């Protein structure tokens, strides 16, 4: 009886949520489109969330872990890579509002003399907006990310070494995508927020938004945790384990 009651509650919730987000047969069309895309593009699995007004529709597709056969569901965690940058930017926006600063605030005013760039002009003039817009004109060597950093180097140390990045093109001349400058922006949030970027992410973004399971990865072993979608590559018509080296 209890089981049946639960089933009805679940069925009611699902039906009402679906009805609010989709009209008529749209849901089936969306599901079929997602399924054929997964197959066509060789994507092991994904979660899709659709938000309309106050209603949400969340559904998992495909497989999160081929070894156990665990399917992706609405709670499966995925590595979001550079989408993390938009979280850093949101956190920075909160910090700027609280500290009554603008996007045009200068890095040198916030971080002080221990930090800088290859030339005095950049060190003096670079603003948050320059970093956010990838327009410092400095190199973005991928070797560091591929090879990993020694565990003894802290984020602060690494931020202080940004002064060794060479110039590729003139300041504000054009776009050069830079992972390092977003690390530096993360460090700016630490200075303004008086806590680690990881803690600020949690207390200022995840908790207020109810993102209860979202977390910052700390460890290579976290990548294979039981709530994560595991990484694979598609090769010779099948999925193989992807290397974990990049997460070191």
Ligand X SMILES: *[C@@H]1O[C@H](CO)[C@@H](O)[C@H](O)[C@H]1NC(C)=O
Q: Minimal distance in Å, beta carbon 8 to ligand X?
A: 25
In order, the DSSP letters of 206-245 are IHHHT--S-----SGGGGG-TTBPPPEEEETTEEEEPP-G
Residue 108 or 242 with smaller CB distance to ligand X? 242
Q: Minimal distance in Å, beta carbon 129 to ligand X?
A: 33
Q: Minimal distance in Å, beta carbon 53 to ligand X?
A: 3
Question: CA angle, 37 as apex, 240 and 211 as ends, to 5°?
Answer: 80
Residue 31 dihedral angles phi and psi, to the nearest 5°: -60, -45
Q: Minimal distance in Å, beta carbon 204 to ligand X?
A: 21
Longest Cα–Cα distance in the chain = 75
- End-to-end CA separation in angstroms for the chain: 50
Binding positions for ligand X, rule: CB under 6 A = 53-54, 67, 218-219, 221, 224, 230, 241
| DSSP character at residue 136 | S
Question: CA angle, 86 as apex, 82 and 89 as ends, to 5°?
Answer: 130
Other Cβ atoms less than 10 A from the Cβ of 174: the count is: 10
Q: Minimal distance in Å, beta carbon 93 to ligand X?
A: 23
Is 21:14 a contact under the CB 8 Å cutoff? no
Residue 139 or 217 with smaller CB distance to ligand X? 217
Residue 100 or 218 with smaller CB distance to ligand X? 218
Residue 113 or 218 with smaller CB distance to ligand X? 218
Residue pointed to by tokens 């300041």: 171
Residue 64 or 92 with smaller CB distance to ligand X? 64
| Strand ranges, E, within the chain | 45-52, 55-65, 70-71, 232-235, 238-241
Q: Minimal distance in Å, beta carbon 20 to ligand X?
A: 9
Residue 24 or 53 with smaller CB distance to ligand X? 53
């Amino acid at each position: 009886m209890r089981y049946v009651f639960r089933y009805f509650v679940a069925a009611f919730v699902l039906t009402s949520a679906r009805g609010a987000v989709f009209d008529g047969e749209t849901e089936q069309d969306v599901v079929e489109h997602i399924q054929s895309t997964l197959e066509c593009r060789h994507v092991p699995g994904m979660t899709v969330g659709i938000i309309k007004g106050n209603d949400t529709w969340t559904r998992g597709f495909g497989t999160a872990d081929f070894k156990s056969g665990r399917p992706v569901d609405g709670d499966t965690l995925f590595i979001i890579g550079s989408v993390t940058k938009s979280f850093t930017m949101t956190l920075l926006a909160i910090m700027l509002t609280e500290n009554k600063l603008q996007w045009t605030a200068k890095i040198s005013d916030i971080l002080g003399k221990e930090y800088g760039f290859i030339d005095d002009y950049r060190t003096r003039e670079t603003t948050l907006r320059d970093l956010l817009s990838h327009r410092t004109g400095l190199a973005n060597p991928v070797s560091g990310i591929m090879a990993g950093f020694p565990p003894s180097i802290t984020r602060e140390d690494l931020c202080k070494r940004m002064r060794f990045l060479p110039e590729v093109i003139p300041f504000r001349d054009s776009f050069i995508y830079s992972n390092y400058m977003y690390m530096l922006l993360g460090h700016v949030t630490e200075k303004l927020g008086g806590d680690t970027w990881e803690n600020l992410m949690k207390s200022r973004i995840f908790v207020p938004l109810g993102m209860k399971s979202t977390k910052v990865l700390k460890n290579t072993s976290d990548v294979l945790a039981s709530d994560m979608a595991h990484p694979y590559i598609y090769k010779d018509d099948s999925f193989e384990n992807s290397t974990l080296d990049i997460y070191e």
